[in-house]
Amino acid sequence: MTDASVLPGQPRGGVLSGPATARAVNVLAPNPSAMTLDGTNTWIVSEPDSGLAVVVDPGPLDEGHLRHVVDTAERAGKRVALTLLTHGHPDHAEGAARFAELTGTRVRALDPALRLGDEGLAAGDVVRVGGLELRVVPTPGHTADSLCFHLPADRAVLTGDTILGRGTTVVAHPDGRLGDYLDSLRRLRSLTVDDGVHTVLPGHGPVLDDAQGAVEFYLAHRAHRLAQVETAVEDGYRTPAEVVAHVYADVDRSLWPAAELSVRAQMEYLEDHGLI
């Protein structure tokens, strides 16, 4: 067995569902796959002494899961007062409209098409519910509408798909762009350095107890992959599919379609910077 303390970000072992910090509880959605890892993490966030809660990423349109989220909050003496989305991919957002029906809440997101209610989310916004404070951090790159939520009271950040609890994420070209993603990772690194964030509450996979280590790993991984793609193109691999087959030869072939999205984003980045 590999010691988790030597893995990037120091992932926690054990059951994924349940309390993660003093203010954040995970309810794992039943949608495991190669892309979603163990399933989508739906986060219930609230002040310990408050009767109000915020839910981040209700997850897929699965009635049992959505009701389980409501029941989990109610068993803790909480009423869901607001729903937030980190981004619009279906494994995070498809159930949001139905969840809003079940809870009578608004849905706030960066993308207006995902909102229910007049109020969206933007850089610098601070969400306050029942004494809870969540700071909106723009982190485009995985998708154009990706956001993270800084939970300063727990020195934690909810990262959606920008940082995962295991492995690395896809830059979902053409909506996602590598330059944006690298800037977003640097923004998250600043949170760990300047704001003392040490815990990552990801959209998939286990909680990470070394946020700075996770960000540094992601930055190093992206630099390594970018160099590999640049070398592959110089060696005559011209199409994204050819580059994937060469650079990702050791990766499960079921993940190659997703890897091709990232390769397209990397090739675009290299072209924009005059490197290929």
* Whether pLDDT at 2 is above 80: no
- How high does pLDDT run on average in the chain? 96
* Whether pLDDT at 101 is above 90: yes
| Nearest residue to 211 (alpha-carbon basis) of 233, 229, 194 | 194
Q: Is 128 exposed, middle or buried (0-12, 13-18, 19+ CB in 10 A)?
A: exposed
CA distance 63 to 98: 8
Q: Using one digit for the tens of pLDDT, what is the confidence trace for 112-136?
A: 999 999 899 999 999 999 999 999 9
Superfamily of domain 18-212 in the CATH hierarchy: Ribonuclease Z/Hydroxyacylglutathione hydrolase-like (3.60.15.10)
Q: What is the mean pLDDT of residues 77-99?
A: 98
The residues carrying an active-site annotation are 91
Q: In the chain, where are the structural domains located?
A: 18-212
Q: Using one digit for the tens of pLDDT, what is the confidence trace for 206-245?
A: 999 999 999 999 999 999 999 999 999 999 999 999 999 9
* Whether pLDDT at 86 is above 70: yes
pLDDT of residue 69: 98
Local confidence band at 276 (pLDDT 50, 70, 90 cut-offs): confident
Q: Using one digit for the tens of pLDDT, what is the confidence trace for 175-213?
A: 999 999 999 999 999 999 999 999 999 999 999 999 999
